[in-house]
Amino acid sequence: MSERTIALVTGANKGIGYEIAAGLGALGWRVGVGARDDQRRKAAVERLRAAGVDAFGVPLDVTDDASATAAAQLIEDQAGRLDVLVNNAAITGGMPQEPTRIDPATIRTVVETNVIGVIRVTNAMMPLLRRSPSPRIVNMSSSVGSLTRQSGTAGELTTGPVAAAYAPSKTFLNAVTLQYARELSGTNILINAACPGYVATDLNGFRGVRTPEQGAAIAIKLATLPDDGPTGQFFEDGGVVPW
Ligand SMILES: NC(=O)c1ccc[n+]([C@@H]2O[C@H](COP(=O)([O-])OP(=O)(O)OC[C@H]3O[C@@H](n4cnc5c(N)ncnc54)[C@H](OP(=O)(O)O)[C@@H]3O)[C@@H](O)[C@H]2O)c1
């Protein structure tokens, strides 16, 4: 079994996920680059390796049970355990998403990726995470899933556009993160949700104002928490995000 810290980042072929992989790799960790497309995954692994990262490709479509099972088997074969899982892959489902007009199929697709995909991958990796001395799980959420911010209560600013699939999928993900934290309390597994801020990526047509590297920072911080670090919480660079 490897002495080095082993991480898996889902949706790591581009955007924030790529920069999370690069940042964890810069710590000297072995990083599994989870990506569903063969060409995009190979290109990302090559780019990371050229930058000195000990990266390996992990074919992974988070909507596919067999793919998640095969990814766990690959990591078992490559490393024998998993120390850190960053559930980063997500989709918006396309905009606009007015609740009065949205096709229910869009909501199903978004929840399948952004919520059920996280549960599917986390549970496939759980036996490998349980072998780690300090397992960490980071779920990439968004402040658009904060009901407090969306409703403008508690003096918080409204956040994000009206989005009947994407925003509630992140609220759902936050709720699921808490359920895991409750079940896993008393174990050494810490699980938290992260918001990267408004980052220029494909997800928003590159309209974001932060760089993917800046967006990756909060995930890297939560991936490297000490054993007495928080669990079941929701963070951005500035601190705790209200539910
Ligand atoms: N950008 C922002 O401003 C922002 C703000 C708040 C939260 N976030 C969150 O940050 C995370 C990363 O977003 P991003 O902005 O970096 O988006 P992005 O550039 O669109 O990257 C999304 C990644 O997820 C992958 N993905 C999508 N569906 C997948 C599936 N079924 N299986 C495996 N991989 C899949 C994509 O792969 P393909 O290349 O194959 O499509 C891509 O690698 C997401 O969770 C997002 O919700 C982003």
The pLDDT tens digits of the residues spanning 55-65 come to 999 999 999 99
pLDDT digits (tens, 9 = 90+) for 202-214: 999 999 999 999 9
Q: Is 106 in the pocket of ligand 1 (CB under 6 A)?
A: no
Is the pTM higher than 0.85? The answer reads yes
Q: Is the dihedral of CA 210, 213, 214, 215 positive or negative?
A: positive
Task: Quickly state the pLDDT bin for 3 (edges 50, 70, 90).
Answer: confident
pLDDT digits (tens, 9 = 90+) for 175-206: 999 999 999 999 999 999 999 999 999 999 99
| Catalytic residue list contains 180 | no
Q: Is 93 in the pocket of ligand 1 (CB under 6 A)?
A: no
pLDDT digits (tens, 9 = 90+) for 70-94: 999 999 999 999 999 999 999 999 9
The Å distance, Cα 107 to ligand 1 centre, comes to: 16
Report the pLDDT value the prediction gives residue 9, as an integer from 0 to 100. Answer: 99
* Angle, helices 117-129/65-79, rounded to nearest 10 degrees: 30
Bridge-partner residues for 199, per DSSP?
A: 210
Structural tokens at position 199: 């980052």
Report the pLDDT value the prediction gives residue 220, as an integer from 0 to 100. Answer: 98
